[in-house]
Homo-oligomer: A and B are copies of this chain.
Amino acid sequence: MTKSIGILTAGGDSPGLNAAIRAIGKSAIRQHGWNVIGFKDGFRGLMQNRIIRLDSDMLSGILTKGGTILGTGRDKPHKMDVGGSVMDMTDVMVENAAHHELDALVCLGGGGTHKNAYRLANKGLPIVTVPKTIDNDLYGTDGSLGFDTALGIATEAVDRLHSTAHSHHRIIVVEIMGHNAGWLTLGAGLGGGADVILIPEVPYSIGTISNAIALRKSGGSTFSIVAVAEGAISQRLASVVQEIEERGGPRDEVKAALTERRSTVEIARQLEDRTGLEARVTILGHVQRGGAPSPADRILATKLGVAATAAIADGEMGVMVASDGEGTKRVPLSEVAGKKHLVPQDHPWLETARALGVCLGD
């Protein structure tokens, strides 16, 4: 009997989603002869049965396209907003997948999506996931769709700021995405030659930073590029958070504490005050999520897409198809859900930055 599979994309969008959809769809159709449908707007489309048929025509010409042709959303299956009230719709989703006689559902997403997929898998939905996040914070895979592309965009921005900072004798502070992980900022800072790199994993002291800039100034370098992760955190605030976590305080208390996090604009202002140099701010924002995926992301997406249908063909469900060097591997969702891959304190990139004399704020 001909198999049928469904695809959905959830969470923030990342370059490479369409390349993965294409690879899943093309290998399903050409290699395996299956039917393929897509659900619109993430788990909401699965709940509402909003589908589009993914045939060869639909899959053509999307390899290089940014965004996702399926749309995406941040809904959680067990806490859906339905007409204003919050409801657990996991059973409805399992039922809908059965209604379409799906042999498998491929979910492309990041940390949240993997938690949601695991929940649905536990309800019996045959699920395979594909890792996707520009934050690179997924556990169990050595690459996620979108990170290489976002890294390219952020690095190019740091490059551009270099030439203008150099001409002008000033501090330029650039805010880079990544949630609570520093990968994107550390990579773009290292690749773009930033003088200061602030990431959530290494809490900073404003004094350390302004001293480093002052030292550069006294050495004749009157400009500095400061790459700040959106999740960067001061040492003081980090110790507050740590204290809450150590005494087992609720997650909401941590969140409340984090609202005191300095904005990038504030960091810039404080550095102006302390160094006497003018500071300017760039906030890249969603520019980092858009546009054509990089070649590396397209190859990754294609490799993982084909690996997803291979897992389905083998009947291996409840797994994430992960990148493993040049190849792929299958990692049980139970091992992935809820875990985070943050920058370890002894990571080679961190050590490389320190060896070059980059200020990490600590």
Contacts and interface: CB of A to CB of B under 8 A. Distances in A.
Interface stretch (A79-87, A113-121, A146-154, A232-240): A146-154
Nearest to A298: B191
A283 B282 contact: yes
A256 interface: no
Q: Choose among A168, A326, A357 the residue with the greatest number of B CB atoms under 10 Å from its CB.
A: A168
Nearest to A153: B160
Contacts of A27: 355-356
A78 interface: no
Interface size class, chain A: 35 or more
Given A284-B282, A291-B163, A296 B296 contact: yes
A293 to B, nearest CB: 9
A164 B289 contact: yes
Interface stretch (A58-66, A198-206, A330-338): A58-66
B295 A72 contact: no
Nearest to A354: B31
Interface stretch (A46-54, A90-98, A246-254, A301-309): A301-309
B282 A287 contact: yes
Per DSSP, are chain A's interface residues mostly helix, strand or loop, or mixed? helix
A348 B303 contact: yes
A172 B286 contact: yes
A160 to B, nearest CB: 3
A169 B68 CA distance: 12
B66 A164 contact: yes
Nearest to A294: B152
B352 A302 contact: yes
B290 A159 contact: yes
A192 interface: yes
A290 B163 contact: yes
A164 B327 contact: no
Given A286-B164, A302-B352, A325-B325, A31 B187 contact: no
The 9 closest A-B pairs by CB, nearest first: A66-B163, A160-B290, A282-B285, A67-B163, A155-B295, A13-B167, A191-B295, A67-B167, A160-B291
10 contacts: A9-B167, A17-B167, A30-B356, A153-B160, A160-B291, A191-B302, A283-B283, A303-B349, A309-B355, A310-B355
Given A67-B164, A160-B286, A163-B290, 18 more contacts: A13-B164, A23-B352, A31-B356, A41-B169, A66-B163, A68-B167, A73-B168, A155-B295, A160-B289, A160-B291, A187-B295, A190-B298, A192-B298, A281-B283, A283-B285, A303-B349, A306-B352, A326-B349
